[in-house]
Amino acid sequence: GSRILVGELSNKCYMLERQTDGSYLQIDDLPGPFKPGEEISRVKFDSDGFLYLVGSTTNVTADDRVYIYNPANDYATREVYELTGTNSPRGVAFDANLGVMYIADFATTDVTIGRYALPGASLITSLATASSDDALGAPALSDSIVTVRGYVSTTNELGGPAYIQAWDGSAGMAVYDSDFHNATDLVRGQYVEITGSVGFYSGLTEITNVAVDGWSILTSDLPPLTPKVVAAASLLDGAGEPLEGVLVKIDSLSLVDPGEWPATGSHASVRVTDGVDTIVVRIDRDTNIDGTGAPTDNYFSVTGVVSQYDGSSPYFEGYQLMPRDIEDFNGSVVSIGDELGLPKNFALHQNYPNPFNASTTIKYELPRDAQIRLVIYNLLGQHVATLIDEHQTAGYRTIQWNGMNDYGQNVSSGLYIMRITADKQAFTQVRKLTIIK
């Protein structure tokens, strides 16, 4: 009934003796004070030399664990990593490039492989990996314990969460922990390290359950973060996910309805537009913005972190720009064209809203003058409507479709295909859109 486990990269062999209660005890060279109460089924070393022991119990799923031994002190100390949702884990493998480990779980009827973020003892998980999504927009590493590093863009200005991001704005995350965002020594621009669980709330991916000593300031006295300049279209439904948690700036905005501006002590979702696209600026009453009066400039710029509030799957809607204080508003007029220039490539963006009822907006980009044709087809490939068939100049463009065919008749509910071509097939792209009547 005993078991021999081999550490493949260590050239060591470990002997475990089976007890009458089904557990195993060490009898040879297993590091550290170690008397597991569960069956140890696998031993493995990662590329950093950390030793992983996979343990499982037959009666309490929550007791399944991975024990991680640190090579820095001759494996004398260990970290316990709780597994979630496992029945009988029997193997472990690593992908250091993605920052994850894979656990093979043998249930009573089938075998599953779960993906978990590598614990901070062995690897810092990038913000891009920690915030990555599955096909429905939920966190790919949900409930996994991760250690991430990032630059603070928001502390307690919004009343929580705080936000950290990569220096270049390539990824960002919310940190929902009151001890963190209320810390008196936490300021914008600091470089921090945080260990916690990957959580999720209404579309927003967060770091949660941060231990009392689970975060630290690595570097202070850094220059302020530079917000990423984007167009309003970047926060439309279906488009905003890559910017979630990132500090951005949008220029040449105006209020749709000044009456939406919040009174003192109130929250508000204020609609703003750049003349083409309309997005939501969320004013939090914990800031110093509410009650100040709506901007009087015809055009202004807004800096803020990109948040999300979407209560239903798939989670690709409800993106919000959240300014941190009144200084995030700037009345100077800056042309989006001046900031972004002409498009670099032809592109057809996903329509919004989608699905839609009465009408939907379609945005496309032309890097040069071209003969453009935009056509709607049904799933049988039959022609439904021609929206554009003309020569157009380079630039960012939009068009609306009211759900009618070429004869002015409302089309039935269902899935349709839109197809754009430039200069007779020099460029072609298709997108799916859904009508709900």
Query: For the segment 137-157, what is each residue's pLDDT rounded down to a tens digit?
Result: 999 888 887 889 999 999 999
Between CA 243 and CA 206 the distance in angstroms is 14
pLDDT digits (tens, 9 = 90+) for 281-316: 999 999 999 988 888 777 889 999 999 999 999 999
Between CA 156 and CA 351 the distance in angstroms is 35
Domain ranges of the chain: 3-117, 127-219, 228-338, 342-435
Coil, helix or strand at residue 3: strand
Burial 135-164 (b: 16+ CB within 10 A, else e): eebebbbebbbbbbbbbbbbbbbbebbbbb
Q: What is the pLDDT of residue 31?
A: 46
Strand blocks (E) in 246-394:
247-255, 268-273, 278-283, 300-308, 319-322, 329-330, 347-348, 360-366, 370-378, 383-392
Helix (H) or strand (E) segment spanning residue 417: strand 414-422
Total-model pTM: 0.55
Q: What is the pLDDT of residue 330?
A: 84
Tally Cβ neighbours within 10 Å of residue 71.
15
CB 434 within 8 A of CB 356: yes
Burial 209-243 (b: 16+ CB within 10 A, else e): ebeeebbeeeeeeeeebebbbbbbbbbbbbbbbbb
Instruction: State the fold for domain 342-435.
Output: Immunoglobulin-like (2.60.40)
Between CA 389 and CA 369 the distance in angstroms is 13
pLDDT digits (tens, 9 = 90+) for 352-402: 788 888 888 888 889 899 999 999 999 888 999 999 999 998 888 888 899
Q: What is the pLDDT of residue 191?
A: 94
Q: Is 103 exposed, middle or buried (0-12, 13-18, 19+ CB in 10 A)?
A: buried
Asked whether this chain's domains 228-338 and 342-435 adopt the same fold, the reply is no
CB 304 within 8 A of CB 248: yes
Is domain 228-338 annotated with CATH 3.40.50.620?
A: no
Q: Phi and psi (nearest 5°) for 128? A: -60, -40
CB 231 within 8 A of CB 336: yes
Between CA 234 and CA 35 the distance in angstroms is 54
Q: What is the pLDDT of residue 169?
A: 94
Coil, helix or strand at residue 341: coil
Between CA 189 and CA 151 the distance in angstroms is 6
Is domain 127-219 annotated with CATH 3.90.950.10?
A: no
Report angle CA 34, 38, 42 to the nearest 5 degrees: 80
Residue count (the chain): 437
Residue ranges, the chain, pLDDT below 70: 1-44, 47, 49, 55-65, 67, 69-85, 94-100, 107-109, 115-123, 331-341
Helix (H) or strand (E) segment spanning residue 80: strand 78-82
CB 106 within 8 A of CB 130: no
For the chain, how long is the longest CA-to-CA vector?
83
Q: Which of 118, 125, 130, 59 is nearest to 92 (CA)?
A: 118
- For the chain, helix (H) and strand (E) counts, in that order, are 3, 30
Q: What is the pLDDT of residue 359?
A: 85
